[in-house]
Amino acid sequence: MNTEREKKVHAPLTGRRYNSVDELLAAESVSHEVRSAVSKLDMETMIVHNLIQMRHSAGLTQQQLAEKLGKTQGAISKLESSSDTEITLDELRAYCQATDEQIMLCIGKPMNHVESVKWHASGIKEHLSALAKMAHGDSDMEQAIQAFFGEAFFNILTILSKCQNEMPNSKDVQVRMKQIGNPTKQQQTPKFVGNVPA
């Protein structure tokens, strides 16, 4: 194999411009082997990449973040150059506190769609239940949460009916909601809030 390299020479510019490195790699026909290796390295720095994005979203430079965390800019630079395996939970917590952001880490086999729906449903139940507990003993809070429950109920049904309508041979499902108010309070005139658009 000839591994000698030719002398470097200046030549007119190509004029070919790309909006991202991925676009460049695809358009310049970089080999599949190299592109796969780049993707693998990207996967190994996904958390670090997110930390950098969090810092940028918070409008902080490395120096400003370092001051908030009582560290040096060099320490932030080192962290942002590292791979995910080198990041500690303490560092994740520090970035969240300094940027006022939150992150969720999912490690392991990705959930399939059914598992994911069940997981989210469980989360919705947990939060609605917590809201219901907050409604006890505070009539203003109870009214606000009751209104929110109605809104959430309608939205969930709307989502379900839209997805149902995407099914093959589906019959058009419509969600209609009638506002009847709180039966223990003065009865309001019932009215239809809305139909689901086809």
Partner 1 sequence: MWQIEPIPQWEKDRKWYEKNRPNELAAVLHNLKRYVAQINASPNPKSFHAGYIHPEPHGVVALDQKGGGGNLQETRLYVFPHEEQKVLYIITIGNKDEQSADVQFCSEFVESFKNG
Binding region for partner 1 (CB under 8 A): 1, 3, 5-6, 8-25, 28, 30-31, 33-34, 37-38, 41-42, 44-45, 49, 52-53, 56, 61-62, 73-74, 77-78, 80-83
CB of 107 to partner 1, least distance (A): 21
- The CB-of-95 to partner 1 minimum distance in angstroms stands at 15
CA distance 172 to 166: 9
Which residues fall within 8 angstroms of residue 49, CB to CB, at 6 or more apart? Answer: 42
Comparing CB distances to partner 1, the nearer of 68 and 162 is 68
Residue among 83 and 174 whose Cβ is closer to partner 1: 83
Nearer Cβ to partner 1 (33/100): 33
* Residue among 3 and 169 whose Cβ is closer to partner 1: 3
Q: Nearest-5° angle of CA 146, CA 147, CA 153?
A: 90
Residue 133 CA to residue 30 CA, distance in Å, equals 58
- Whether residue 198 contacts residue 165, with contact meaning beta carbons closer than 8 Å, is answered with yes
If we measure between CA atoms, which residue out of 115, 52, 112 comes closest to residue 84?
A: 52
Shortest CB 69 distance to partner 1, Å: 16
User: What is the closest distance, in whole angstroms, from the C-beta atom of residue 148 to partner 1 in the complex?
Assistant: 36
The CB-of-149 to partner 1 minimum distance in angstroms stands at 40
Report yes or no: 196 and 174 within 8 Å, Cβ to Cβ. Answer: yes
